[in-house]
Structure 1
């Protein structure tokens, strides 16, 4: 049986404050946890005996057998699976993210954990290894975001920084800074670089003015047909997919 204190410890990690204090995060689900075990240090793993029996040697500091009721008490999911784990948050260096050598995503105030998780998953699919976020972007290690990534955090490093200052530094090195705007150039006809930074903005307000001022390559995703009246904009995760797909199609 899982102790009340252990359940409380796990449940506290729903809040960013406690994730920061302990430098840990939660992942749930048979495949997600199995994918993350080789990549991240595991402080605690609770699982049904049937799941443990299929795993062999499990690299966790603390390993606890649990039944359905135990896992349900600790879980953040509506329909918990067989395993839940608490991992150490990795120490990723922003210095690794060199937009002069690779394509990087930058997120300016993305608020929805589901959108962020989907964007991380998209980055993984399109071979983008680094995402640079403004400090007010949703936390990549919140339970909802981690679940939405479907394990992509194993391959994609997410950094938080003063985004305008970071972009200003890159602009001084003539790095292409792409952003999507209604007055931008058609993405399907504009010349695109194989390296640089793609900036995606907040769900409701888009890219904020101080960030927009640094964008040197404005893009527009046209609707079809262009003369037809449509909804005002695309969901940011969908727009990210369209932009990344076009960059990779050219490359």
Structure 2
């Protein structure tokens, strides 16, 4: 049986300050909740609005649909809501490819990039402090559970990049075509803000500028940052 305090807590987690305060976050949907459980994420509570689903989730609480809708961030709740403990990020510099995000603001982009890191075996994602919160509900929906398998840290990028011995590749419109670049077996890939690209402060540490070339009569101004990350990671891992 869900209590008023539990409802109040879950609703409060829609805001970043309360997520940080309680070290908890919310995900919704049977598939995503299952993905996190299978990946070893520690659940605080799982709520379902259908007694049939209860057997699929150990110790789940059945709640009325109207209560789950009140707790949900979705316009149409899908019947399963999980509250999980945040994991402690490892801040060690990984000796492999690392993706670095400089002020990526769109939740969908960040969620997709987290999923891409999971797909391409990139275990470390380093974000600037002004990158969108990885526990934002829209980010979590886009990750489809991959957040449990990617170590995400928020740090000062200038300090981080200054300390690494890995080659640092930055995505630029005027960079060398990635298909012609001599890519290392391990390194750092920096992706910039959706509108402004990589900042000058971060760009000073980039050792090699790479780009995705246009073909034919293409007139698009630029690629979405998540799409660009997918193309670059594919070539890096090829």
* Range of TM-score over shorter length: over 0.9
Quick check: 1:19 aligned with 2:19? yes
Instruction: Tell me if structure 1 keeps the 8 A contact 2:35–2:144.
Output: no
Q: 4+ residue stretches of structure 1 with deviation over 3 A?
A: 1-5
Shift of 1:68: 1.8
Aligned to 1:236: 225
1:48-104 Cα shifts (integer Å, max 9, x gaps): 32111234x34xxxx421132221111111221121111110002111x41xx3111
Quick check: 1:246 aligned with 2:235? yes
Matched residue SS, 2:147: helix
Aligned to 1:82: 79
Matched residue SS, 1:91: coil
Shift of 1:9: 1.4
Aligned to 2:96: 102
Aligned to 1:204: 195
Matched residue SS, 2:66: helix
Aligned to 2:54: 52
Looking at structure 1, the residues matched to 52 and 32 of structure 2 have their Cα atoms a distance apart, in angstroms, of: 17
Instruction: Tell me if structure 2 keeps the 8 A contact 1:2–1:70.
Output: no
Gapped runs of 5+ residues in structure 2?
none
Looking at structure 2, the residues matched to 206 and 67 of structure 1 have their Cα atoms a distance apart, in angstroms, of: 46
Matched residue SS, 1:10: helix
Looking at structure 2, the residues matched to 52 and 36 of structure 1 have their Cα atoms a distance apart, in angstroms, of: 17
TM-score, normalization by structure 1:
0.90
Aligned residues: CA RMSD: 1.4
For residues 205-220 of structure 1, the aligned pairs below 5 Å read 205-220=196-211
Aligned to 1:42: 43
Shift of 1:7: 2.3
Matched residue SS, 1:135: coil
Looking at structure 2, the residues matched to 187 and 241 of structure 1 have their Cα atoms a distance apart, in angstroms, of: 12
TM-score, normalization by structure 2:
0.95
Query: Mean alpha-carbon deviation: is it higher for 28-37 or for 39-48?
Result: 39-48
For residues 59-74 of structure 1, the aligned pairs below 5 Å read 63-74=60-71
Looking at structure 1, the residues matched to 2 and 75 of structure 2 have their Cα atoms a distance apart, in angstroms, of: 19
Looking at structure 1, the residues matched to 225 and 137 of structure 2 have their Cα atoms a distance apart, in angstroms, of: 20
Shift of 1:3: 4.2
- Aligned match of 1:194 in 185, 193, 199? 185
For residues 34-183 of structure 1, the aligned pairs below 5 Å read 34-38=34-38, 39-47=40-48, 48-55=50-57, 57-58=58-59, 63-95=60-92, 97-98=93-94, 101-170=95-164, 173=165, 175-183=166-174
Q: How many residues align?
A: 236
Query: Mean alpha-carbon deviation: is it higher for 110-119 or for 37-46?
Result: 37-46
Gapped runs of 5+ residues in structure 1?
none
Looking at structure 2, the residues matched to 229 and 52 of structure 1 have their Cα atoms a distance apart, in angstroms, of: 52
